[in-house]
Amino acid sequence: MAEYDLELSRQMSLASRLLLSSGAPGPARDRAAIYIALVACEIALKAGLEKAGMPVAKIRKHQHGLANLLAEFSRCEISVAGQRQPATRIRAIVVDPAFKDATIGHLIEAEKYGASKFPTEIRYGDVVNHFPAGVMTALSEQLVDWMECHINDIRLV
């Protein structure tokens, strides 16, 4: 049995979307939606690395470091049209064309550019400095979609 559950990631992403569509607009709702979306991303990245063959103990060492988890994908490859390709292709997927550099790679590494740190500053900070909650929810949806598409062909190289 796998340690990291991609279906749980899908459900967390859905919860973020539902929160945005049903909650009263405001900073508390947005904070919660961003947090849930980033948890979904964390679980999806960990599920992909586990399925690729990375030992769970090594995955756990990354704790909540989303940028580090994404960096581990540089050691993986996927199948695209029957050919093996670098899994780093995930970084270039555009999440929201309305924002410059709103790619999976840039959004996952948002802390490098001044965004609130996940999870502590997202959960407990006085002010959340991040991309809009809708963009972060879309990030989680696209990341989970990509992982579901490649979960059975991702491999460590």
Q: Distance of CA 84 to CAs 39, 87, 89, Å?
A: 29, 9, 12
Q: Evaluate whether residue 129 is within a structural domain.
A: yes
Question: What single string gives the DSSP state of each residue in 40-62?
Answer: HHHHHHHHHHHHHT--HHHHHTT
Helical H segments across 1-157, by residue range: 6-22, 27-52, 56-60, 66-72, 104-108, 120-124, 133-150
Contact 108, 41 (CB under 8 A): yes
Q: Evaluate whether residue 156 is within a structural domain.
A: no
Number of domains the chain contains: 1
Instruction: Show the tokens assigned to 56.
Output: 């769970």
Low-confidence residues of the chain, pLDDT below 50?
none
In the β-sheet with 83-86, what is the strand arrangement from edge to edge? 83-86, 76-80, 155-156
- Boundaries of domain holding 60: 6-150
pLDDT value of position 147: 97
Q: What is the pLDDT of residues 87-104, one digit of tens each?
A: 999 999 999 999 888 999
Q: Evaluate whether residue 101 is within a structural domain.
A: yes
Q: Evaluate whether residue 157 is within a structural domain.
A: no
pLDDT value of position 126: 84
The helix (run of H) or strand (run of E) holding residue 65 is: none
pLDDT value of position 64: 85
pLDDT value of position 27: 92
